[in-house]
Copies of this chain bind each other. A is one copy, B any other.
Amino acid sequence: MRPPPVGDGSVRAAYAWLSRAVEPGHRAMWAYVSAEGAVDVAAQLHAGEGPVVLQRAVGARVGSDDSVRDLHRAERAAVRLLIPGDSDWPGDALWPMQQVAADGDLDCVPPLSLWVRGAGSLPSLLARSIAIVGARASTPYGEQVTHQLAAELAERGVCVVSGGAFGIDAAAHRAALSAGRPTIAVLACGADRAYPKANEALLDRISRDGLLLSEWPPGAAPMRQRFLVRNRLIAGLTAGTVVVEAALRSGARSTASRARDLGKPVMAVPGPVTSAMSAGTLAMLRAGGCIAVGSAAHVLDAIGRIGDDLAPHEAGPSEPIDELDPQTQAVYDAVPLRRASPIESIATVAALAVSDAVAAMSVLELLGLVEVDEGRWRKTRQDQKQR
């Protein structure tokens, strides 16, 4: 006999029930719902039926049903539940499915559903997005670099995604908002909750100008384990992850690891090796598979969306002397600065035949680097740098 459906029998109520019944990031649950559909899976598990591994995951929540209450509570808090099939469901395109299949025990499973607060369109924001994450106990250096990176990326139309925490996360969100661009905070608690409390005004502003996302139903508490599960979501929804500052042990590094698991670019901002808050990024750079970035151009280069964004080739200011062939350089070096010399002496100093020195000198004269005075040569005043 088919068990009775949960809530009002709708697909949305089924997803609401599932989001409370089992902690997100559960591979078997995701696979089973993908195969059987949310309505049937919720009904089975609610009735104490279905695969044993999922029954065990539901645990003490079997038989309870807060789905309709959660949906109403969400509505009152201007939170909506996005589910597969909704027009603004981000879709599976962002989440490399081959990784989901291949990674076995890793928790890189896509979300079942997403509780969303804010009016923006999730798919269009995520289409061009970057995760910028880092230490809560950030330094002024880290905050300055975060602000610079996030503001410039936001100005170039890249949506900055972070975790809404103190420190680097908050700096990234604030920079995007200060650039007048939407930003997304992915939370480890209900989208109606302000955590950390001190970021309440910031989170409110994000919900007005961007989006707050959560896999947990309204009211859910930010429990320790949920941050790691949430981190995979930050990595999975974005085109790449930038870690600005991180201690050796850090949640930001877990986000970076999930990005790598998902085959997405992982970036780290180097910092002083004397700073504990840059020890994590140094370890990332040393471990390999991580790109050092110092500018928005570097980040755009790594996520490689559009050709125009490619980081410009970097070179210091070029000096004409550096462009010369070695023989001409040797002659230039042999030309005195003050007291002018005859070409024969200069050839001797440069260890060249006089004919070669004459040829080189004509090039230098054309470039305005040397001047002749009664058959004797000296450097012109404009370039007196040695070495």
Interface, chain A (partner B; CB < 8 A): 21-23, 56-61, 64, 141, 144-145, 222-225, 227, 247-251, 269-274, 278-279, 281-283, 285-286, 291-295, 298, 314-317, 321, 326, 329-330, 332-334, 344, 347-348, 350-354, 356-357, 386-387
Q: List 26 A-B contacts (CB under 8 A).
A: A22-B351, A23-B351, A56-B352, A57-B351, A59-B352, A60-B344, A60-B354, A61-B348, A224-B321, A224-B387, A225-B330, A225-B333, A227-B387, A248-B316, A249-B315, A249-B317, A270-B271, A270-B273, A270-B278, A270-B282, A270-B285, A271-B272, A272-B272, A273-B295, A279-B314, A283-B314
Query: A51 to nearest B CB, angstroms?
Result: 14
Partner of A286, one of B224, B286, B292, B317: B292
Contacts of A251 in B (CB 8 A): 387
In the assembled complex, which residues on chain B have CB atoms less than 8 Å from the CB atom of A282? 270, 292, 294
Q: Is the CB of A326 within 8 A of B225?
A: yes
**A273 and B294 in contact, given A61-B351, A225-B333 (Cβ under 8 angstroms):** yes
Known: A60-B353, A270-B273. A329 touches B225 (CB 8 A): yes
A351 to B226: give the CA distance in the assembly, Å: 13
With both beta carbons as reference points, the residue of chain B lying nearest to A385 in the complex is identified as B224
5 extra A-B contacts, CB within 8 A, seeds A56-B352, A60-B354:
A60-B352, A144-B274, A270-B281, A272-B272, A285-B292
Give the CA-CA distance A68 to B249 in the complex, in Å. Answer: 65
Contacts of A285 in B (CB 8 A): 270, 285, 292
Nearest Cβ on chain B to A364's Cβ, whole angstroms: 13
Chain B residue at minimal CB-CB distance from A282: B294
Q: Chain B contacts of A59 at CB under 8 A?
A: 347-348, 350-354, 356-357
B272 touches A298 (CB 8 A): no
Q: Which residues of B contact A249 (CB under 8 A)?
A: 315-317
Q: Which 9 A-B pairs have the closest CB atoms?
A: A249-B316, A273-B294, A270-B270, A59-B352, A223-B333, A248-B316, A285-B292, A60-B348, A60-B347
A330 vs B292: C-alpha distance in the bound complex, in angstroms?
A: 35
